[in-house]
Amino acid sequence: MDVYVARQPIFNKRKRIYGYELLFRDGMVNAFPDVDGDAATSRVLSTSFLSNGIERITGRKKAFVNFTEKMITEKIPAMFPKKTIMVEILEDMEPNEAVVTACREMVKQGYILVLDDFIYKPELKPLLALARIVKFDFRASSIKEIEAAIKELAAYRVKLLAEKVETHEEFQQALDMGFEYFQGYFFSKPEILKSRDISPSKITLLNIMSEANREDCRITELEKFVSRDLSINYKLMRYINSAYFGMFKRVKSVKQTLVLLGTREVRRFISLIAMAQLVSGKPDELIRASLVRARLCENLGKEVLGRNGSELFTLGLFSFIDAILDDEMGNIMEDLPLSENIKKALTGGGGELADYLTLVSCYETGDWEKVATLAEKTGLNEKKTPEFYMEAVAWADSIPI
């Protein structure tokens, strides 16, 4: 059985990752024609995460998971480790005696309850007394409605989580309102959308990343770029001379290092170091999300196009570069020696690579219907997409940031 699951980041006030909400494919009952939805979802959860390890997709962070009323009363959340799972109570769940009793028992065992898409109603008081986090949907409720509900929560020991925060302005507004956690893709958008010059040092880093990810990567050109950047040069030499490689003789030249590492390892290492320098002051999740996209795009390319996927790797890697540099994508592309295919896809101009990036973006947000449509359009075996995504997440999380 194929398990469709994506993760959406949840940040703390410092824009550090606190956890991930897990988004499951809608209509699980379709995967189990003779089983009801609750049982199907339970089986997906237990098979995927109890067998394979929930940390594989959460990177050992908190996992926010929605549970239906039936799953709550049957104490399905207790199948998971209490240090990891965050039990989300759906907004349409009736706080009847069975639900409140089950929640009370789970809280006694050490589980944390989260009230999802919260709208204040007096009948929710028993659950508010047990919950530790309350989520407000910034798309479904107005600021005035949220402020009024927050006043009602003053008597409870709950922390506030702002959901579907899509802009930096909304993040700051939620912060000013007393929210402690933030969920949404505000972090992946530029804070200042205006044309401005990119510093020479950043252009050098972008050129290094571009050259490292060329399909016909030229060692001579890459050597020139790396030699001009003392930080990357130093880290690269330390890397090749580390105990991990166990060299008998100390490697002293950049060219020798590049040859010994090989194109694939060079791409991964140099891209990470360069992006880490570019992303200074931004959430680490921007690097991680870029790496997930790069790997997933590459995997899709290998499957459909039957080639090494380096162009698609580059496409995914640069897909958040506007947010990293706080500039318009079109302005950034003018300064980079990337292929026209990549530039068109990144700037919304379409082209043969655009559908892959859109598919990846839809998978991230759990838009499974569009994922299926794009998979069919590109000739991708849709059933392999979850496997590719999980592998990309595990790969990106294995790289220290």
Which tens digits make up the pLDDT trace of 321-369?
999 988 889 988 887 778 899 999 999 988 889 999 999 999 999 898 9
The residue-averaged pLDDT of 243-271 equals: 72
> Does some domain include residue 193?
no
Q: Is the pLDDT of residue 196 over 80?
A: no
pLDDT value of residue 27: 45
Same structural domain for residues 207 and 161? no
Instruction: Name the phi and psi angles at 181, rounded to 5.
Output: -130, 150
CATH number at residue 29: 3.20.20.450
pLDDT value of residue 257: 77
Same structural domain for residues 231 and 323? yes
Same structural domain for residues 204 and 182? no
Same structural domain for residues 164 and 229? no
pLDDT value of residue 332: 87
> Does some domain include residue 342?
yes
Domain tally, the chain: 2
> Does some domain include residue 195?
no
Residue of 112 and 22 predicted with greater confidence: 112
Which residue, 122, 157, 188, sits at the end of a domain? 188
**How many percent of the chain have pLDDT more than 70?**
85
Between the alpha carbon of residue 153 and those of residues 11, 87, 101, 146, the distances in Å are: 21, 19, 21, 11
Q: Is the pLDDT of residue 309 over 70?
A: no
pLDDT value of residue 376: 93
Q: Is the pLDDT of residue 265 over 50?
A: yes
**How many percent of the chain have pLDDT more than 90?**
44
> Does some domain include residue 169?
yes
Same structural domain for residues 319 and 340? yes
Domain encompassing residue 157: 5-188
Same structural domain for residues 147 and 241? no
**CA-closest candidate to residue 319, choices 289, 349, 339:** 289
Q: Is the pLDDT of residue 28 over 50?
A: no
Contact 329, 322 (CB under 8 A): yes
pLDDT value of residue 182: 98
What is this structure's pTM? Answer: 0.83
Same structural domain for residues 169 and 205? no
Q: Is the pLDDT of residue 258 over 90?
A: no
CATH number at residue 256: 1.10.3210.10
